[in-house]
Amino acid sequence: MQHELFGSPDVEAFRQWLRENKSFELKEKLMSEQEAISRFVHDGDYIGFELYATVRCPMSLVRELVRQGKRNLGVLGQGLQEVDFLLAAGLVNRMDLTYVGYEVYGLSPILRRVVEQGRVKTAEWSNGAIAWRLKAAAMGVPFIPVRSMLGSDMLKTNGAHVMKDPYTGTQVVLLPAIVLDVGFIHVHRADPYGNAQIDGISGFAVELARASKRLIISAEEIVDPEEIRRYPERTVIPYFLVDAVVHAPFGSHPGEMAYLYDRDEPHLRMYMEMIRTEEGTQQYLEEYVYGPKTHEEYIEKVGGWGRMKVLSKLGVKR
């Protein structure tokens, strides 16, 4: 068990960094997955994704990240494919973990192999705690008090402090803020500057966007900035937080995108079958991650735009 914080709670340094590196200039930030990852992600970075692999997840960015083989990454949070790919590719050396598994499909064989072989350092948090740690950073404060995780053994693995509040004596966990080096979010639509809208639940996009030094978003659709200005209350991520905007239709595949397309269940079944073994896992990565050089090639590989059109007819509609 360890107490070192993997990600930084230093909001004072974050202030300085943002002042020096972020601009309010309205400039176009459209670029490919390749360019976004190679410009803004570095070996050793501490990164985080939103939402999770079967739901509105920036999978085209994740696949490119694996392709480029950025190393010694720290990873925040829960995950399915988006974390497992990185684990399977050996790119992660530390992880703040809340959940890695496949819900109805059960445990993650990849996480099991990697952790049971001691190949990655971990600290444990709840889902709420992970989101709240991002929220603290988003608020620009070094910690946030919560009433979750009290009494649990997770506190022994993660170094969070406990105190009684000075007003009522209520016990709280002081969750340390976590500043990400790079955050990745997939959205329904964005303008070329990065102003982004999300339909349906917002997961922890609001918090993760604000807690990231660098922020890469991918979007199903690129819209005119006038569309953004017409409904400014729908902006979930304002442009000045964003470093790169990647146009990635069906970017959440094999996951779903609310109101646009359903998840690719047959593909997921095949994937779960393949990752049972280390060999199958590497074979999946070869075929579907390393093999296709672009998102377009990936779409071709998994069944082409025809299959995407079919998926778009299956999901929940408004």
Partner 1 sequence: MKPEYSPTELLIVLAARLFEDNTSAFIGTGIPMLAASLARKLYTPNLVPIFEFGGVGSQLRHLPRAVGEARTFDRAVWAAGICDIMETAQRGLVEYGFLGAAQIDPYGNLNTTVIGSYDRPKVRLPGSGGGNDVGSLCWRTVILMKHEVKRFVERVDFLTTVGYYRGGDTRYTEAGLPRGSGPFRVVTNLAVLGFDDETKRMKLLALNPGVTVDEVVKNTGFELLIPDEVGENPPPTEEELRVLREEIDPEGFYLTTTEGRILDIVTCTATDSQPLTVAVHRNRRGEIVAVLACDRADTPAACQALCPNL
Beta carbon nearer to a copy of itself, 35 or 165:
165
Per DSSP bridges, beta strands 196-197 and 73-79 are: unpaired
**Residue 32 phi/psi, 5° resolution?**
-80, 165
Q: What is the smallest separation between the CB atom of 94 and a copy of itself, expressed in angstroms?
A: 17
- Give the Cα separation of 21 and 213 in Å (integer): 8
Beta carbon nearer to a copy of itself, 199 or 221:
199
Beta carbon nearer to a copy of itself, 198 or 215:
198
- Give the Cα separation of 314 and 64 in Å (integer): 27
3, 112, 293, 301: which one contacts partner 1 (CB under 8 A)?
112
- Give the Cα separation of 129 and 148 in Å (integer): 7
Q: Which of residues 269-308 bind partner 1 (CB under 8 A)?
A: 303-307
Q: What is the smallest separation between the CB atom of 93 and partner 1, expressed in angstroms?
A: 16
Site string for partner 1, 206-235 (x = CB under 8 A): xx--x--------------x--xxx-xx-x
Please count the CA atoms within 13 angstroms of the CA of 219 that sit on its side-chain side.
28
Applying CB under 8 A, the residues found at the interface with a copy of itself are 5, 9-12, 139-147, 161, 165-168, 170, 172, 174, 176-177, 198-202, 230-233, 318
Q: Which of residues 138-197 bind partner 1 (CB under 8 A)?
A: 138-141, 146-154, 156-157, 162, 164, 170-172, 193, 195
Q: What is the smallest separation between the CB atom of 10 and partner 1, expressed in angstroms?
A: 11
Structure tokens given for 143: 């910690």
The residues that bridge with 174 in the sheet, in sequence order, are 145, 161
10, 22, 30, 189: which one contacts partner 1 (CB under 8 A)?
22
Whether the upstream peptide bond of residue 241 has omega within 30° of 0, thus cis, is no
DSSP 3-state of 90: coil
